[in-house]
Amino acid sequence: EQAAEVAKEAKDEGIRILTIGVGTTKGAPIPIKDSQGRIMNYKKDQNGETVITKLDEETLKSIAEQANGYYINGQVTSDVVDQIKEILNNMEKTEFEAKEFADFKSQFQWFLGLAVLLLFIDIFLLERKTEWLKKLNLFNENL
């Protein structure tokens, strides 16, 4: 019920839902694996019973249908990828968001050149302080 409601909301927003069915309708326990991928145990519910997960194709098909989407049987992984590519390639492309930006030309070299020029002026022309700078005693020098 909640999934159907969400699917309808998605359709109203222009969102298509692709559902992929994985597993079997008979069901199987959910394995808990270690870091090497070995099965250590199976998922248990609050009563200590092993949880069995089953593929519910009808619900997945219903969700996809209500959201103007597609249901894909996920038994063969390579087929799933091909089907998704085909669906996406056939979908009508719409612009979702566009951003405009200006490509500014770097102008830092002018400021760098001015800084180097002022540095040379300081080094070569103002090496000796003038008398009036000494009188101001800007650098707290002992006279």
Other Cβ atoms within 10 Å of 1 Cβ, number: 5
State how far the alpha carbon of 37 is from the alpha carbons of 40, 41, 75, in Å.
Answer: 9, 12, 21
Residue 120 CA to residue 118 CA, distance in Å, equals 5
H or E element at residue 135: helix 131-136
* Beta strands 28-29; 31-33: pairing state: unpaired
Has residue 134 got a pLDDT over 80? Answer: no
Q: Which residue has the higher pLDDT, 44 or 75?
A: 44
What is the per-residue pLDDT across 19-29, written as a single tens digit (0 to 9) for each? 999 888 899 99
Q: Determine the residue type at 2.
A: Q
* Beta strands 39-42; 31-33: pairing state: antiparallel
Mean pLDDT score of the chain: 84
Residue in 26, 34, 24, 30 with CA at minimum distance from that of residue 45: 30
Residue in 57, 49, 60, 52 with CA at minimum distance from that of residue 27: 52
What is the per-residue pLDDT across 76-130, written as a single tens digit (0 to 9) for each? 888 888 888 888 888 777 766 777 777 778 888 889 999 999 888 777 666 555 6
Q: Determine the residue type at 82.
A: D
Domains of the chain by start residue, with CATH: 2-90 (3.40.50.410)
pLDDT bracket for residue 143 (50, 70, 90): low
